[in-house]
Structure 1
C-alpha cells in the first residue's frame, strides 16, 4: 500500500476548523496560585489598543512580544503567567502569580507582579474583575471553612465541593473593599490539569454571569415605556373595535410613532437580549460540568445561580418577547386602520359614481331638450333660405303662391331635420358602445 498522501481538494478552512477546538486550551494550575481574572468590553479600536498595550507589557518585563494578535494568547514569564482571550464583544485577561508566598489569602494577587501602572492603562470597560486564591486543603473541614470565611469581609458565602469532593470552592459573588470579587479554591486531591479545568470553569461562570446580567438594566429601562405604549395601543384598538368616528390621520400618526419607538427599542436591545440568553446557557453548562456536592450550611453555585440569575435572564426574555408582541399588535392595528381607510375610500368612490351617474342623466335630458330647440332653429333657417329662393324666382318672372309653398314646406323641413338629428345622435351612441 502506498504511503503517498492523496492529492485531494481540501477545503481552505479545514486546518482552521481543526485548530478551533484547540484554540482555547485549559490551563495547568498548581495548588498554590494567586489568580486575577478581568473581563473588559471593547470596541474594534480598543481591541487594537489592547494588543499594543500587551506588547508594551512584554517590553516592560524584558520579554519578546507577540507580533500578531490571536484569539487566545498565553505566555509564561516565570512566576507570572499571562493569558488573553478575545471574544465577540469582550476580552479577558488572566494573570497567574506562581511565586512562593506565605501571606494571607488575597494579600497578594495575580496583579502583584505586573509593572506599576500598567493595568490602569488597559483600554475598555471592565465588567468582571475578581481574584481566585488556590491553596492546598487541610484535613479538618470545619477549621477550613472558618479559615476561608474570614477573608471575605463578613459577606454571605456560596460554596460547594465539586468533582465528588476533590476540591472546595467558596465565594461571595460580591465586590470587596478592593473593588474586586473573591473566590477561594482548596484542592484536596486534584491533579494540576484537573485543578486548571476547575478554575477555568469557575472564572467562566463568573464572567458569563456578569455578561448575561448586562441586559437587565436595559430591560428595566424599557419596561415603563412599554407599559405606556401598551396602554396607548389598547386605547387605539378599542376605538377601532367600538366603530367610533375617528380621525384616521391622527390615529395613523400615533400608530406610526409607537411603531418607530418599538423598532428603536428592538434595534437597541435585540443583540443584548440574545447575548444574555447565550451567556446564561454557557453558565448553566459550566455549572453542570462542576458536578457539585453541597457544603453544609451553604448554597451551591448552581442553587445560587438558579435562584438569582435565572429570574434576571427571564426578565430580559420577557421584555424581548413583549417587544415582539407589541410589534405584531401594531401591525394588526395598522392593518385594521388600512382596511377602515380602504372601505371609506370605496364608499366615497361609490358616492362619486352615483353623483356622476345622476349628472349624466341630467346632461342627457338637457341634451334632448337642446336637440328639440336645435330642430326648430335649423328648420327656421332652412325655411328662411327657401323663402329667399322663392322670392328670387318670383322676381325672375315665375308665378307661384309663395305662402302656400312655405306652409307646405315647414312640416316637411322640420321632419327631415328631426330625422337627421336623431340619426346623428344614434350614430354617436353606437360609436360610444363600441369603445
Structure 2
C-alpha cells in the first residue's frame, strides 16, 4: 500500500469498504439464455451445509472447490453458470443455462436442467422464491407478443411492461405453474449483454424481495384478532376504573400483567419480521423505479401490480406493528393507574394503622405513668421497711428518740426521694432515645 510510505495510518477496514461496493457485481448475460433463481431461508447450520453442497457440485464437475465462503460466489461449468449469494436471513442461487434450445418450450429446458441429477433436491434450506426466466430475442411486434407468450404461462393472467424505454419487453404472471416455479419471459430488443444482466438482476430481486416481504403477513393475520380482543378487554378495564364502582384492584392488575406478557410475546415474535418486511418492501420499490417501465398493450405494469397487491399487505403488517406498540403503551398507562390506586390504598391503610398505633401508644403511656406511680409507692414501702430495721436497731442500742415520729416523718421523705429518682431515670432514657433518633438525620 502506498499510504504507509507517506506515514499515514490506514484504517483496518479500508480495503473491505472498497471491496464491499464490488462484492455483488451485475452479471453479463447473453441472449438467448435460460435462468433459474432460487431463494432459501437458511439458518447458520444450513448455510454451512449449503456451502459444503456447493463444494460437492465442483467435485462432480471435476473442478477445484472453493475453500472459503464469501457473500457472492460465481463459477462457470461449461454452459452452466452458478452464482450463490448470502444475505442476512436467506441464500440465493442463480443458475444460468447458456445453451438455450429454441426448438422446445423455453420453460421445459431451464437454468437447472444441466445440473447433476439429485443435486438440487439435496440443497438444504426452505424455498421461498423459485422461478425461471427465459431470455429471447424479440422477433415480433408488441401485438404479436401475446399469441407467442400466453401459451408459455398456462393461460394465467399476465403482467407486462417495456422497461428501459422499450429496449425490452417483460412478461410474467407472479403465480406458480405446474412445475412449482414462477415464470418470467424477457424479449430483448436492443439491450447489450450487460444491460440485459442488470435487467435480469432487478427482476430477480423484485420477485425475491416481494416474497420475503410477505412472510410476515400470515403472522399479522394471526395476531390481529387477539389484539382486538385485548383492546376490548382493556377498554372494559379502563371504563371500570373511570366509574370506580367496587373494582378489584388485585384482579385487574393481574389481568393487565397477563395482557402485558402476551403483548411482549407478540412483539418478540413479530418485531424482526415486521422490520424486515418494511426493509424488503423499500428494496422492491427502489428496484421498480430503476426499471423505468412503459405500459404494454393495456396490461398492468410490474410497478402497478406491486403497488396494488403488495403495498396493502405491507401496510397490514405495519398497522399490526403499530397496534402492538399502541396497546403496549396503553396497558402500561393502565398498569400505572392501578399501581397508583393500590399504593394510595396501602398508604390509607398505613395511616389508619399509624393512627391506631398512636392511640395505643397514648394508652400505653398512661398505663406506664400509672405503673410508675405504683412503682414509687411499692419501692417506698420496701425502702421504709428497710429503714425501720435500722431505726429499731438504733433505738434498741440505747439512742433515745421518738421512734414512731421518726418513722412517720421518714415516709414522705422516702416517697419524694424515690419519685425524683424514677423521674431522673425516665428523663435519662428519653434523652438517650432522642439522641439515637437524631443521629441518622445528622449523618
Q: Does residue 103 of the first structure (1) align with residue 104 of the second (2)?
A: yes
Q: Does residue 31 of the first structure (1) align with residue 34 of the second (2)?
A: no
Q: Does 423-432 or 293-302 show the bigger shift? A: 423-432
- After superposition, the Cα gap between the structure-2 partners of 1:96 and 1:361, relative to the gap in structure 1 and judged at 3 Å, is same
The DSSP-based 3-state class of the residue aligned with 2:153 is: coil
The DSSP-based 3-state class of the residue aligned with 2:294 is: strand
- Deviation track 1:119-166 (CA, whole Å, cap 9, x = no partner) reads 111111111011111111124221122211121111111111111111
User: What residue is the counterpart of 1:254 in the other structure?
Assistant: 255
Q: Distance in 1 between matches of 2:339 and 2:278?
A: 37
**C-alpha contact 2:142 2:297 (8 A) present in aligned 1:** no
Correspondences of 1:19-418 after superposition (within 5 Å): 19-101=19-101, 102-418=103-419
Q: Distance in 1 between matches of 2:35 and 2:17?
A: 31
Q: Does 419-428 or 145-154 show the bigger shift? A: 419-428
Q: Distance in 1 between matches of 2:68 and 2:230?
A: 50
**C-alpha contact 2:210 2:284 (8 A) present in aligned 1:** yes
User: Deviation of residue 317 (structure 1)?
Assistant: 1.1
- After superposition, the Cα gap between the structure-2 partners of 1:424 and 1:43, relative to the gap in structure 1 and judged at 3 Å, is closer
- Deviation track 1:361-415 (CA, whole Å, cap 9, x = no partner) reads 1111112212222232233333333443443344334454433333333334333
- After superposition, the Cα gap between the structure-2 partners of 1:216 and 1:388, relative to the gap in structure 1 and judged at 3 Å, is same
User: Deviation of residue 197 (structure 1)?
Assistant: 0.7
- Deviation track 1:68-98 (CA, whole Å, cap 9, x = no partner) reads 2221111222322111111111111111112
Gaps of 5+ in 2: 437-443
The DSSP-based 3-state class of the residue aligned with 2:35 is: strand
- After superposition, the Cα gap between the structure-2 partners of 1:115 and 1:419, relative to the gap in structure 1 and judged at 3 Å, is closer
**C-alpha contact 1:138 1:144 (8 A) present in aligned 2:** no
- After superposition, the Cα gap between the structure-2 partners of 1:167 and 1:360, relative to the gap in structure 1 and judged at 3 Å, is same
**C-alpha contact 2:41 2:126 (8 A) present in aligned 1:** yes
The DSSP-based 3-state class of the residue aligned with 1:91 is: strand
Q: Distance in 2 between matches of 1:78 and 1:277?
A: 40
The DSSP-based 3-state class of the residue aligned with 1:115 is: coil
- After superposition, the Cα gap between the structure-2 partners of 1:427 and 1:56, relative to the gap in structure 1 and judged at 3 Å, is closer
The DSSP-based 3-state class of the residue aligned with 1:270 is: helix
User: What residue is the counterpart of 2:433 in the other structure?
Assistant: 432
Q: Distance in 2 between matches of 1:309 and 1:231?
A: 30
- After superposition, the Cα gap between the structure-2 partners of 1:61 and 1:392, relative to the gap in structure 1 and judged at 3 Å, is closer
**C-alpha contact 1:394 1:400 (8 A) present in aligned 2:** yes
Q: Distance in 1 between matches of 2:48 and 2:423?
A: 94
Q: Distance in 2 between matches of 1:53 and 1:430?
A: 88
- After superposition, the Cα gap between the structure-2 partners of 1:11 and 1:415, relative to the gap in structure 1 and judged at 3 Å, is closer
**C-alpha contact 1:105 1:133 (8 A) present in aligned 2:** yes
Q: Distance in 2 between matches of 1:327 and 1:143?
A: 57
- After superposition, the Cα gap between the structure-2 partners of 1:328 and 1:392, relative to the gap in structure 1 and judged at 3 Å, is same
- After superposition, the Cα gap between the structure-2 partners of 1:422 and 1:281, relative to the gap in structure 1 and judged at 3 Å, is same
Q: Distance in 2 between matches of 1:63 and 1:388?
A: 126
Q: Distance in 1 between matches of 2:367 and 2:61?
A: 107
User: Deviation of residue 4 (structure 1)?
Assistant: 10
**C-alpha contact 1:153 1:176 (8 A) present in aligned 2:** yes
Paired residue total: 434
Q: Distance in 2 between matches of 1:236 and 1:409?
A: 79
The DSSP-based 3-state class of the residue aligned with 2:152 is: coil
User: Deviation of residue 188 (structure 1)?
Assistant: 1.0
Q: Distance in 2 between matches of 1:97 and 1:336?
A: 67
**C-alpha contact 1:57 1:118 (8 A) present in aligned 2:** yes
Q: Distance in 2 between matches of 1:63 and 1:434?
A: 92
Q: Distance in 2 between matches of 1:385 and 1:106?
A: 127
User: Deviation of residue 333 (structure 1)?
Assistant: 2.4
TM-score, length basis structure 2: 0.91
Q: Distance in 2 between matches of 1:387 and 1:74?
A: 122
- Deviation track 1:295-320 (CA, whole Å, cap 9, x = no partner) reads 12211111110110011111111111
Q: Distance in 2 between matches of 1:236 and 1:168?
A: 59
Q: Does 359-368 or 329-338 show the bigger shift? A: 329-338
Q: Distance in 2 between matches of 1:206 and 1:301?
A: 10
Q: Distance in 1 between matches of 2:82 and 2:397?
A: 137
Gaps of 5+ in 1: none
User: Deviation of residue 168 (structure 1)?
Assistant: 0.6
